[in-house]
Amino acid sequence: MAESEPSTPLKRLRGVNPRLAELTDKVLFGSLWEHPALSKRDRSLVTVTVLAVLGHHEQLQVHLRRALDNGVTRSELDELMVHLAFYAGWPAGTSAALACGVVYATEDDSNVA
């Protein structure tokens, strides 16, 4: 997903709550994600982990795509889901793994490392 191309959930949010969408663009993906203290790759790993543990699967799929764009590989995401299953519970890990499968089915093979 290109940086200037909003995700489908963000497009829907703009129609429902333009102010929250604006804050998402400017503060979350602007200020927070662009802060140099953590790399975008590291932020993606943290974000995917939290969304998986909390069961926010719609947002998880968006951030799985973003993680792939930020240099996280499929094998790293797969291992993250195994790790999550042991620390956050089997349902969290398996549900997140299934979300990965949905994302992988719609992505090209450039991140299959």
Q: Please state, rounded to an integer, the average pLDDT across all residues of the chain.
A: 91
pTM: 0.85
Compute CA distances 2 → 5, 89, 107, whole Å. 5, 33, 13
Q: Is the pLDDT of residue 113 over 70?
A: no
Alpha helices by DSSP H, 1-113 = 8-16, 18-23, 33-34, 40-54, 57-69, 74-88, 90-106
* 43 and 57 fall within a common domain: yes
* 31 and 43 fall within a common domain: no
| Domain CATH code at residue 61 | 1.20.1290.10
Short-list 4, 22, 108, CA closest to 65: 108
Task: Give the pLDDT confidence score for residue 107 in this predicted structure.
Answer: 84
* 27 and 54 fall within a common domain: no
Average pLDDT in the 35-64 region?
96
* 31 and 44 fall within a common domain: no
* 85 and 99 fall within a common domain: yes
What is the secondary structure of 33-64 as a DSSP string? Answer: HH-TTS-HHHHHHHHHHHHHHHT-HHHHHHHH
Q: Which domain holds residue 58?
A: 38-111
* 32 and 43 fall within a common domain: no
Percent of the chain with pLDDT over 90: 81
Q: Is the pLDDT of residue 7 over 90?
A: no
